[in-house]
Structure 1
Amino acid sequence: MSANPAIENHGELVSLDPLVNLLADDMKAVNAMILQRLASDVPLIPELAGHLIAAGGKRIRPMMTLAGAQIAGGSAHAVGLATAVEFIHSATLLHDDVIDESNLRRGRDTANALWGNEASVLVGDFLFARAFELMVEAGDITVLGQLANASARITEGEIKQMTIAGMPDTPQDAYFDVITGKTAILFAAAAAAGAELAGANDDDVAVMHDYGLQLGLAFQIMDDAMDYGVSSSSMGKNTGDDFIDQKITLPVILAWQDGGANDREFWQRTMGDGNFTDGDLATAQAILASHDAIDRSIAIAGDYANAAIAALSRLSSPGQSQMPIIAALAAAARFSAARQN
């Protein structure tokens, strides 16, 4: 996969590193709180949850909370709220892997592959409960409402994804509705909640919500494009998982819309009917390439990344002290549509 030409970087930084570096101390505190709040008299809980969380990942959702708080000057409760966001995300991953029957996550065996579905679902429930404890401790009812609503929207997004599974003729609007709920809404709520907690005005809270939403859409579209175009070792999951799981994503929708009768027959047999044979993934990749569906999807991700950057320009009179975090958020947006993993 090549760099995304749709990103208006003009020589500007395309990296998550500035955000990671600026938030390093707070993220150390988040990681410490994660370990503290995983404590339980039931040893399986910290063991199973710790397996997933120790696998790492970019931790970009809790970073959204910390960055949102920094935009408004910071908050003593930002670390706890960022931990809650990571617990919400981790709980959804545990549940997703059970639903998808996945056996690889971030390059490691999934929790359900090691401990079984029942344990994974119950530990996911435990993480949701811990998240809501932390949200209550933040002491802001508006923030609690934002993240509670996001948690409900995530579940709705996952259910909507199930309803379009195996339907390669799904319209783009339905796909974007799914990824807004299952992915982008938590990015948005995390960023907005951090700003709200730190006392930002309503306009700036709305800006951070919009930034997070556009960033989350770019991330998910790139994930969906990479499923067909990046090696398993780079992704930390099996190449073609979405294909085998009959998940309808943007590249397939674009190829279906542009395809002739033979292409559509292939998509219906495989992703529609679940009738797979040897070599079908390679055929799918060839069809996608013939319609430029991967690169077109990446270009759309770039459009959302640019929209995230544009949102930052609407922040009300940021001071000099906010300039580094704003620049880091812009670099993270460019990264979201140019990453390889």
Structure 2
Amino acid sequence: MGVVVNLEDGKRDRGSIEGLIELTRSDMTRVNELILSKAGSDVELIPQLARHLISSGGKRLRPMVTLAAAQMFGYSGEGHVKLATSVEFMHTATLLHDDVVDESDLRRGKQTARMIWGNQASVLVGDFLLGQAFRMMVEVGSLDALEVLSDAAAVIAEGEVMQLGVAKNLETTEDEYLAVIKAKTAALFSAAAEVGPIIAKASRSDRSALRSYGTNLGLAFQLVDDALDYGGSTRDLGKNVGDDFREGKVTLPVILAYRRGSEEERRFWKDAIEGEQADAAALDKAIRLMHRHGAIVDTVGRARHFGEIARDALAPLKATPQKAALVDVIDFCISRVV
């Protein structure tokens, strides 16, 4: 049973991505057309599986960030559409791979691809989408953009392996966990934001600003997801509430509750996470312990901290509608838990 977190202290107005959606609407139409085109194949299973995930209702925040970041610096070509599509394909591929590794049954309220077509097909179609992403990057012809996105692909893979190393390990520290999500989630947000100014031939300082924005937005986004797994709803989270707990994932709310708990409470966590005794009653108890020790509230507090760093990264840049929309995205990501 999830408990919605109500955090009034220091709460900003609820953010919105409506400005971002409006600014990128025409470009996103082209991105969506390119997604469908590049997901096509004579191998029948590939478009079936790819379209299952692509059409499952994600907001496509990452490619919109790429488009807005390019617009922000006056870009007027076509390359940003291919780079945004590459970013979305990289994200989609990681979702396919994640669901296999995590043995997830639900993604955005629908059965995961692995539940319909199996693990092998999911992994291989994820690899196909990565290949298509790199083809488009090469077509754009920007070595700097190719370098940033290929580096991100390697870092994301490292993050996946790092996550395996901390799985079910309750001795994981907060710093170790932040390193995992910086690689696994924030790296793609960072690359998505940075390739915009790259293709617009903006300055090094502009690139650095968008890179920092993306990194810290990604950290905030993932920490909010962590909190939602114990204090949200299936609609907000896009998967079953408590999935992280049932899968034995050691996320920040677990780390904080475990470290702050009594010896008896730590035994509970060991039984639930390491001993795989994570039934519905255990989930209810886990949520109560997290509230007792402020673990969810403090996880959201960490998210707000990274959100402020993202906001400060954009602060020196010239005021534009795109900048305002990217700032609104920060509040939108964090407002999902309030």
**1:333 maps to 2:330:** yes
Partner of 2:94: 92
CA contact (8 A) 2:246 2:279 kept: no
The residue correspondences of 1:257-336 to structure 2 (distance < 5 A) are 257-277=259-279, 279-315=281-317, 318=318, 323-336=320-333
Alpha-carbon distance in structure 2 between the residues aligned to 1:276 and 1:256: 15
Structure 1 contact 3–338 (Cα < 8 Å) conserved = no
1:76 aligns with 2:78: yes
Alpha-carbon deviation of 1:276? Answer: 3.5
Query: Using the alignment, how far apart are the partners of 1:4 and 1:184 within structure 2?
Result: 26
2:227/2:337 contact within 8 Å kept: no
**Structure 1: how far apart are the matches of 2:238 and 2:183?**
23
Moved more, 145-154 or 273-282: 273-282
Preserved CA contact (<8 Å) 2:15 2:332: yes
AA aligned opposite 1:329: L
- What is the CA–CA distance in structure 1 between the aligned matches of 2:278 and 2:253, rounded to whole Å? 19
Inter-CA distance 4–208: structure 2 relative to 1 (3 Å threshold): farther
Any residues of structure 2 matched to 1:1-341 within 5 Å, and which? 1-3=5-7, 5-6=9-10, 9=12, 14-74=15-75, 75-277=77-279, 279-315=281-317, 318=318, 323-340=320-337
The structure 1 segments of at least 4 consecutive aligned residues displaced by more than 6 Å after TM superposition are none
Q: Which amino acid aligns with 2:226?
A: D
When the two structures are superposed, what TM-score results if normalisation uses the length of structure 1?
0.94
TM-fit CA distance, 1:340? 4.3
How many Å separate the matches in 2 of 1:190 and 1:92?
15
User: In structure 2, what is the Cα distance between the partners aligned to 1:253 and 1:307?
Assistant: 23
The amino acid that maps onto 1:307 is I
Shift of 1:329: 0.8
Gaps of 5+ in 2: none
Q: How high is the sequence identity, in percent, across the aligned residues? A: 46
Change (3 A) 1:85 1:278: closer
Task: Give the distance between the partners of 2:7 and 2:142, measured in 1 at CA.
Answer: 41
Deviation at 1:195, TM superposition (A): 1.1
Question: Structure 1 residues 278, 88: CA separation in 2 closer, same or farther (over 3 Å shift)?
Answer: closer
Structure 2 distance, partners of 1:303, 1:6, is: 11
Which stretch of structure 1 is more off in the superposition, 254-263 or 44-53? 254-263
Distance change >3 Å, CA 251–CA 78, structure 1 → 2: same
Point out the more displaced range, 62-71 or 267-276. Answer: 267-276
